[in-house]
Structure 1
């Protein structure tokens, strides 16, 4: 039985013109890695944390975006649930980094927010679109979606543009993951 017209319009589907793995291949080149598939993990130095990267698509009218999500997992010492979201503050210029609780334990959030003050200076120069910190089932998970390492695809006019992850932003990304891993490991 075929899907109804409403299901076809509103249901999950891959965008027209989406090339799975193409953005990751360009990211692999930016990072200087030799093997990075559609879902992969890597370390950026021998004793560094393990980072998973995967593509995420976002559909819009006559266009779509392909973003790369960087995911860091750290074991949690205590039990509890928390979902927090970080974002840059300031209307025209970045003036800071703010943290919002999106669910979970208030006391756990207050401890996390107090500890995040130590890494604000590291997060300020990082160009991220989305940064979430989740704690669930005895594990912290940091998901960072960078502005770079993404692709914009327009259908009309026909345009496909990759936004690279430059060397400076790559350095800030590794510093942020080092600081967040250290912060969450001790929390």
Structure 2
């Protein structure tokens, strides 16, 4: 699992944390850079979504990203300018790639607020492009709520799937995709009851 630019806010507009998970990409640098070079539009959409939630928080995070030199997806081929010319939306506030049959066990998000919001989309692993060909959809990769006997089949995804659920109350997990030529990309964000009305974003 890859992650960079992770951000969680325990209190609105108050506290946030940043990290780049360098250890997770240390042994697969070429694959990471290849993905980043082809997914700049995704970073833009996620940045727009974050800004929609709260512009003040967005500005604070963007300032920190620039000062720390955190790469946005459209900057992976220009390492000399990682803190310059960063577009208004071109960074991943919290972006995680799940690939190569990633799965996890049923769990609760103990460090989250009541609700969590996640975005999913399918992409080709090589050349790391958003998957728009319906004949090449991944199989498997369900988001499952075992105690509720309910799941969301991500193989039917034709764009961006957005899900909001009580992640600290309902056990949830992801089962592995059966097609290793693709992967699912997830963005998670803590949201409160007041932020339940969200704009849809379609790739």
Common fold: TM-score over 0.5: no
Higher strand share: 1
What's the TM-score bracket when you normalise by the shorter of the two chains?
Answer: under 0.3
Structure 1 or 2, whichever has the larger Rg, is 1
Query: TM-score, normalized by length of structure 2?
Result: 0.24
